[in-house]
Amino acid sequence: MKKEITGSATLLNGLIAEGTKTIFGYPGGAIMPIYDALYDYQDRIEHILVRHEQGGIHAAQGYARSSGEVGVVFATSGPGATNLVTGLADAMIDSTPLVCITGQVYAHLLGTDAFQETDVINITTPVTKWNYQITDAAEINTVLAKAFYIAKSGRPGPVLIDITKNAQLQLIEEQSYKTCEHIRSYRPKPIVRQTDIEAAAKLINGAKKPFILFGQGVLLGKAEQEFKVLVEKSGIPAAWTLLGLSALPTNHPLNVGMLGMHGNYGPNVLTNECDVMIAIGMRFDDRVTGRLDKYAKQAKIIHLDIDPAEIDKNVKTTVGIWGDCKETIPLLTNLLDKKEHVEWVQKFKSYQAEEEKQVIQSELHPSTEKMTMGEVIHQLNQLTKGDAILVTDVGQHQMVTCRYAQFNQSRSNITSGGLGTMGFALPAAIGAKFGAQHRPVVAVIGDGGFQMTIQELGTIMQSNVDVKIIILNNEFLGMVRQWQQLFHDKRYSFVDIASPDFVMVAKGYGIAGSRISERKDLVSSLETMLNHQGAYLLEVMVGKENNVFPMVPQGCSVSEIRLS
């Protein structure tokens, strides 16, 4: 006779079988049986107690983004589950693989407005790739295996499993766990059509001014090496989206910079000059395209993506290649002529030189009394040599960091892209460190976003997480203030934000730190932070009304980008 175990133990055995090493979570009444079972699994699986469920799911995102594995988070019913929603929406739009486990009230109480009962399935349906409610422990293994398969296959995303308390407590016969490798009617890896590859290659080989746009799909497909070979054989200049950053080393001679609203001058202007555009693993987000009716109208568009919904969604393609870029990129590369587009690449360099003169020099080597965000990132680059993982929050510091950070390795840039979630960076940095323990992790955060999840300093304290935190404090909600200055006649409406003594707050959590406001202290303070054993918080006071340029004003074409 087989041994009987609880649904909770069944779940934990399944997580271990899926290779889960770390769980982020917060206990509560409806998930208490799972936490009770977890007591006996502490030597087999690591649980990190966060201070808020939103912090838990952002930490799981950071873990997934730095490791390339599925992030796992636990939360209880009611407010515990609803506190996950922002992170679910963030993970959904940024294609981050997560498995979220929520506790739920007893099955017989469903629909009675029981204590801490919410309809988590209907609440989370729009922000999950798949969700499911388990009321019988016999379903746990099958549903969990399906959840992991859906989360990480095809275009990744978050999955949520809601488990009623009776199912957690129920005794069932112990079963062997089988991973899922197929679901009827779900095709995560499409069949590549060779005719599309051939049509795309013909267009590229005949192009005079081809241009590659690459996004996070290259990272998610683990196709960084294949992509590098494509770029180098074709000789085509390549620019990245916010989430594509680090898929190609920043200093690669054909890496021409960042696309979009606060991207580099050349990639934006020359979008409307290229004759063939090759988009790989990106979704033509509005922050990249600006006005669609003025976007690359002269170009033939080739779009490689694993999600058929993205092809022709925003920009009409000439050739759409549906498939996993790990497979499609080499097939395309094999048919390309080896070329060097010397004059075309030089045009990007000319625009870069203009941007250097008008924007970059004054940002990285300012003559102003107050420090700039750009010079802080520049000095950080000098010290980390491009090998650190940088986790950014949302705002001016995010754009500056992504513009000026140097990366030698992939999965080095972790930020909230599509949703733009303030408060993301601190918990995401915690998760990123657990996902890549051998690499230095630096969170770069604004004074506004830091206060949204400041309580996660408690997680750092209790779990002894070695993350470095840089707060770039301009005493404003900087990005909103920039828009109010430029487009609302400098009517600063509720963007002047007061902050506590961040260094003293960190000290209260047993975290070392310092605050600087003078340029002469910058390099030595960064060195102290990076060399410190354990977590460290460095607050840097920067200019209050500095703006991030270049900038494509909302409602404008990308070629109308402003340098000042």
Check 32, 46, 116, 461 and give the catalytic one: 116
Q: Which two tokens stand for residue 531?
A: 């060399």
Q: Which two tokens stand for residue 185?
A: 């009617």
Check 18, 53, 363, 375 and give the catalytic one: 53
Check 4, 115, 178, 554 and give the catalytic one: 115
Q: Is 142 helix (H, G, I), strand (E, B) or coil?
A: helix
Q: Which two tokens stand for residue 553?
A: 């004003």
Check 261, 282, 479, 529 and give the catalytic one: 479
Q: What angle do CA 253, 257, 259 make, to 5 degrees?
A: 150
Sign of the dihedral defined by the CA atoms of residues 199, 207, 326, 66, in that order: negative
DSSP E strand boundaries for 362-467 = 389-392, 413-414, 441-446
**Bridging pattern class, strands 441-446 and 171-173:** unpaired
- Please confirm, yes or no, whether 211 is among the known catalytic residues: no
- The amino acid that residue 235 corresponds to is G
- Please confirm, yes or no, whether 53 is among the known catalytic residues: yes
Check 129, 146, 152, 165 and give the catalytic one: 165
550 upstream amide cis, omega within 30 of 0: yes
Of 538, 534, 512, 535, the C-alpha closest to 524 is 538
- Please confirm, yes or no, whether 1 is among the known catalytic residues: no
For 191-245, the DSSP string reads PPPHHHHHHHHHHHHT-SSEEEEE-THHHHTT-HHHHHHHHHHHT--EEE-TTTT
User: What is the Cα–Cα distance from 482 to 326, expressed in whole angstroms?
Assistant: 40
**Residue carrying the six token digits 């940024």:** 94
Sign of the dihedral defined by the CA atoms of residues 44, 46, 49, 55, in that order: negative
Q: How many other C-beta atoms are found inside a 10 Å radius of the C-beta of residue 527? A: 12
Q: Which two tokens stand for residue 243?
A: 């989430």
Burial bucket for residue 376 (CB in 10 Å: 0-12, 13-18, 19+): buried
Catalytic residues: 53, 115-116, 165, 479
